[in-house]
Amino acid sequence: MIQVAIIAGGPSAERGVSLKSAQTIAKHLPQDKYISSTIDITPDGWQDMATGQRMDLNQFKLVDANGQPTRSFDFAFIIIHGTPAEDGKLQGYLDMMGIPHSACGVLTSALTFNKQMCKDHLKLYDIPMAESMIVTAMTDQQSVEAHGIVPPFFVKPNNNGSSYGVTKVKAWSQLEEAIRHALQYDHEVMIERALRGSEFSCGVVREGSTFHVLPITEIIPKGEFFDFAAKYEGESQEITPARLDDGLVKQCQERSGRLYRLLGCRGMVRFDYILEDGTFYLLEANTTPGMSEASIIPQQARAYGWSVSQLLDIVVTDCMANRH
């Protein structure tokens, strides 16, 4: 039996989402092949959510009250949203400890977590993306317009996820408050042109030399954009497979497979887009996509003909065999 540590929690605003995802993974990992424990990263240390035993990080083992090892692990399934996983810090630790894990490597994770840096990198490969700029303090209308951005536009943390701290600015009078709100979540704030069109998402999973590009999901938020409530509280309609003609399906899926390779991804990664004037513009790459029962990747896996258990087994098997 393969011993799996499901690493969840963490200090970010997305902690609750992470714990929901961990429950799904624990439920669906095939029990004839895996024994799992959910390890919660808390301010007081790492601990097993079931037993309360703490993790000795010098050994990556659970220990009892006397510090004696009680359990070791063969694999780490990372399901932390935000830091320290989506920015690559956790992967660096696991790599040093020799523990194979489910997520992208340090460089890919750090790059994709920094939205603007990822965009700057992908511009070299002619990936369509909205105009954007970064600020670390208040800025004015003239500076934003100089980047070709006028209302409506989005103001959001550059290093964050799940749409925390995001504001859709419709008038210049809202700019200052939007920046102030985003600065609560990150020291860097992205100002980005609001793309006009429908939102879509496409997941990719590697299995050896095969790259499975999953069916596309069409996202119809009840609000103005795919915010936290839309993602995690049912405030959106999600249609999988998306209602697209064959040419648009091909464009989105080919772009997703190409992005997965360009960025050097591992495990399961989700790419989000806006379809504007017949072109899929990349919004962001999610290297630790949500895995709650309502999340997009489980929907896409089922539409592909996989159970969630099959999906998880493929991810673990591939990442154990191919550490890079």
| Residues assigned a catalytic role | 14, 162, 232, 270, 272, 284, 286, 290
Tell how many helices (H) and how many strands (E) occur in the chain. Answer: 10, 17
Instruction: Round to whole Å and give the CA distance between 199 and 201.
Output: 7
Residue type at 30 in one-letter notation: P
Crossing angle of the two packed helices 106-113 and 115-122, in degrees rounded to 10: 100
Instruction: Round to whole Å and give the CA distance between 187 and 47.
Output: 30
Crossing angle of the two packed helices 106-113 and 89-97, in degrees rounded to 10: 170
- The CA distances from residue 5 to 23, 45, 100, 284, in Å, are 12, 15, 11, 27
Instruction: Round to whole Å and give the CA distance between 84 and 42.
Output: 12
Instruction: Round to whole Å and give the CA distance between 115 and 107.
Output: 14
Nearest Cα neighbor of 198 from 216, 218, 217, 215 is 218
The full DSSP string for 248-298 is HHHHHHHHHHHHHHHTT--SEEEEEEEEETTEEEEEEEESS---STTSHHH
The full DSSP string for 16-64 is HHHHHHHHHHHHHS-TTTEEEEEEEEETTEEEETTT-PEEETTTTEEE-
Instruction: Round to whole Å and give the CA distance between 290 and 285.
Output: 12
Whether 13 and 164 have beta carbons less than 8 Å apart is answered as: yes
- The CA distances from residue 306 to 202, 297, 298, in Å, are 15, 11, 9
